[in-house]
Structure 1
């Protein structure tokens, strides 16, 4: 079983798009759960959505959480506090860039890597070039 991934974003469409891209790159071998937008469909974050996504992606190998910005971090941390201590130990919140990190994490997870290896791969997203700098 592969490490699970949770995408937390202020936008449901953004979270779903990132999950779609990462899922394609992992050939569907990785559970990628999303928590995007508020409960009423507005832009924002929802602890209930994050908690549900954590439950969906949970597995014995662990879960990596990738976030967009701001309150997504706070809401993810609050959702983690609601987990029992054994479950909490198997979840890492990544500081990786959302899109690049999610794609690299999904590819690494699909190879059967450990949670730490998946987190390190996601962090390599910081180094991905996006064109020439002048």
Structure 2
């Protein structure tokens, strides 16, 4: 004969499950907590900024103003070891162009992934982006940027850069402004190069 008290006794496993359900219930509503409501450490502003910096942007950045493609002009490429320096220089040059549509300008700053350095691949992409058939002037900041562009210009055969791509012997910032302002006015390749030469000769003292 079965003892009624034994038949009514709860399984110890059932009791453990019931306790777990009570612990996971929302104290305010008594409803089970949603898995998405699981508590996680709060993200601080500094952590958010750090994550943002860790996601590099594409080093090659077209900075052409809207409508620039309506009139072919000499293109300008800015090659820097730093993505941020190249972008800031292009933005300053664009701001100094004034009214009207600026000539096409693109940057090749840093390497793929956003690090410091020089990338032949990014330089090629930038030149292709701004080449509208009237030539491209390339300005470099220093060192390997200059050497990389010279090596690209020296290549022959399939994949070589067009003959209308020229490197400017000019300071990076002043040359960028002179090149973009002159190209935006509709000047040809030789005049744009000449403008960068003038920037190289400009004395501050």
TM-score, structure 1 as length reference? 0.88
CA distance in 1, matches of 2:113, 2:78: 18
Alignment correspondent of 1:17: 88
Any stretches of 5+ residues in structure 1 without a counterpart?
A: none
Which structure has more relative contact order (CA 8 Å, sep 6+)? It is: 1
2:169 matched to 1:88?
A: no
RMSD: 1.7
**Structure 2 SS opposite 1:7:** strand
Q: What's the offset of the Cα at 1:38?
A: 1.1
Any stretches of 5+ residues in structure 2 without a counterpart?
A: 1-71
2:117 matched to 1:44?
A: yes
Query: Residues 97 and 123 of structure 1 are in contact (CA less than 8 Å); yes or no, is this contact kept in structure 2?
Result: no
TM-score, structure 2 as length reference? 0.59
Equivalent residue in structure 2 for 1:31, among 88, 104, 107: 104
Q: How many correspondences in the alignment?
A: 130
Comparing 24-33 and 104-113, the one that deviates more: 24-33
2:169 matched to 1:98?
A: no
Query: Residues 26 and 110 of structure 1 are in contact (CA less than 8 Å); yes or no, is this contact kept in structure 2?
Result: yes
The structure having more radius of gyration, on CA atoms, is: 2
* Cα deviation 1:19-62 (Å, max 9, x = unaligned): 11111222441111000001121110011110110111111111
